[in-house]
């Protein structure tokens, strides 16, 4: 009997497939769902975050669950098929309780710039493949390989830039808008089969990517700005987002479908006040 069969409770083996599991939000989600509701983790990434990837695997195993890493660029349909095939070999059919799309790979810049930051066609295609289309490719591969467990949850991640724009993030927002429509249409297609597809929207959280991009002074300014913006007076943490994903994976969240769930903590509510009255 394989380990996944041994582990199978009355509901069978239960896995989380996490794209982007080695860093930031994806790593925190992998750790949280290993704890609650107690899922084994198949974590996909390209291997650039060695330390945090190992920390995540260690934490999942500490929680008594399996952690299986799979290294690839997850943005193509071929990668989705190969990844799901690899997962099927370790997990068996109908075993994926939770699929989370937490890869980040978007170009920032301006559509009409004549400079380095021009959002040219290759950047547009690459951003949409990574941030949006890959959600569909993995959903298609999971269904084709009969990998979704009963009442599976599929989750995309959204930021707050859908209503409040930063001038260099037009391509990020456009790809997230596509992701939101993919989520709604997949919810309609998968709903009758008992599955749920949602988008979780949250504000800025401190991730290695942010720490890599900003200097310590800029990070301190960023934290101070979020303390002014967020009604709670501080930044949200990846752990808070991850714990809420555990909730979304549970029975009580079963009626959410096709929803954009706002976990932004009111981050953009005070912007007019800050501009007009600060
Ligand atoms: N951070 C925030 O403040 C925030 C707020 C709201 C929403 N979100 C959303 O949360 C998601 C994750 O963001 P994050 O900030 O947590 O990102 P992050 O810390 O940069 O982590 C991204 C993860 O995705 C992997 N990855 C990136 N491109 C990949 C690819 N093509 N194929 C396979 N793996 C890939 C990375 O590992 P490798 O590079 O080694 O592949 C890493 O594990 C994104 O969808 C983002 O829009 C983030």
Which atom in ligand 1 lies closest to the alpha carbon of residue 202? 6
9: pLDDT strictly greater than 50: no
The answer to whether 41 and 115 are in contact (CB under 8 A) is no
C-alpha of residue 27 to centroid of ligand 1, in Å? 9
Maximum pairwise Cα distance, the chain: 66
Main-chain dihedrals φ then ψ at residue 36, nearest 5 degrees: -145, 110
The reported pLDDT for the residue numbered 266 is: 97
pLDDT-derived band at 208, boundaries 50, 70, 90: confident
The candidate with the shortest Cα–Cα distance to 197, out of 244, 136, 239, is: 136
Q: Is the CB of 162 under 6 A from ligand 1?
A: no
Which atom in ligand 1 lies closest to the alpha carbon of residue 28? 16
pLDDT-derived band at 209, boundaries 50, 70, 90: confident
* d(C-alpha 53, C-alpha 62), whole Å: 14
pLDDT digits over 222-277, tens only?
Answer: 999 999 999 999 999 999 999 999 999 999 999 999 999 999 999 999 999 999 99
Q: Is the CB of 13 under 6 A from ligand 1?
A: no
Mean pLDDT (whole number) for 147-171: 96
The reported pLDDT for the residue numbered 4 is: 43
Share in percent of the chain as helix, strand, coil (round to 5): 50, 20, 35
Mean pLDDT of the chain: 94
Q: Is the CB of 74 under 6 A from ligand 1?
A: yes
Q: Is the CB of 235 under 6 A from ligand 1?
A: no
Which atom in ligand 1 lies closest to the alpha carbon of residue 160? 6
Delineate the domains of the chain, giving CATH numbers in brackets: 3-211+238-266 (3.40.50.720)
pLDDT-derived band at 13, boundaries 50, 70, 90: low
- What's the sign of the alpha-carbon dihedral 158, 27, 132, 150? negative
The answer to whether 56 and 42 are in contact (CB under 8 A) is no
Q: Supply the DSSP string of 90-122, one letter for each residue.
A: HH-TT-EEEEEE-------BBTT-SSTTB--HH
Mean pLDDT (whole number) for 202-216: 86
The reported pLDDT for the residue numbered 40 is: 98
The reported pLDDT for the residue numbered 11 is: 56
Take atom 44 of ligand 1 and give the residue whose Cα is closest: 104
C-alpha of residue 22 to centroid of ligand 1, in Å? 9
């Amino acid at each position: 009997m394989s380990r996944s069969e041994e582990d199978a409770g009355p509901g069978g083996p239960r896995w989380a497939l996490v794209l982007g599991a080695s860093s930031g939000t994806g790593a925190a989600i992998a750790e949280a769902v290993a704890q609650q509701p107690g899922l084994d983790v198949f974590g996909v990434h390209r291997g650039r975050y060695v330390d945090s990837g190992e920390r995540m695997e260690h934490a999942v195993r500490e929680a008594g669950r399996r952690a299986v890493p799979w290294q690839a660029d997850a943005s193509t349909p071929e990668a989705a098929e190969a990844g799901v095939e690899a997962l099927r070999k370790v997990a068996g059919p109908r075993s994926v309780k939770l699929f989370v799309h937490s890869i980040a790979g978007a170009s920032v810049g301006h559509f009409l710039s004549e400079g380095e930051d021009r959002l040219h066609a290759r950047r547009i295609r690459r951003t949409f493949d990574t941030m949006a289309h890959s959600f569909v490719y993995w959903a298609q591969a999971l269904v084709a390989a009969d990998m979704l467990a009963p009442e599976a949850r599929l989750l995309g991640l959204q930021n707050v830039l859908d209503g409040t724009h930063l001038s260099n993030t037009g391509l990020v927002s456009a790809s997230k808008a596509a992701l939101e429509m993919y989520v709604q249409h997949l919810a309609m297609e998968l709903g009758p089969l008992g599955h749920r597809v949602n988008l979780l929207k949250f504000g800025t959280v401190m991730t290695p990517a942010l720490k890599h991009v900003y200097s310590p002074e800029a990070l301190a300014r960023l934290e101070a700005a979020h303390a002014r913006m967020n009604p709670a007076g501080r930044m949200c943490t990846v752990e808070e987002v991850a714990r809420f994903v555990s909730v979304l994976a549970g029975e009580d969240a079963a009626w959410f479908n096709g929803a954009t769930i706002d976990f932004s903590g009111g981050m953009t509510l005070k912007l007019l006040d800050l501009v007009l009255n600060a």
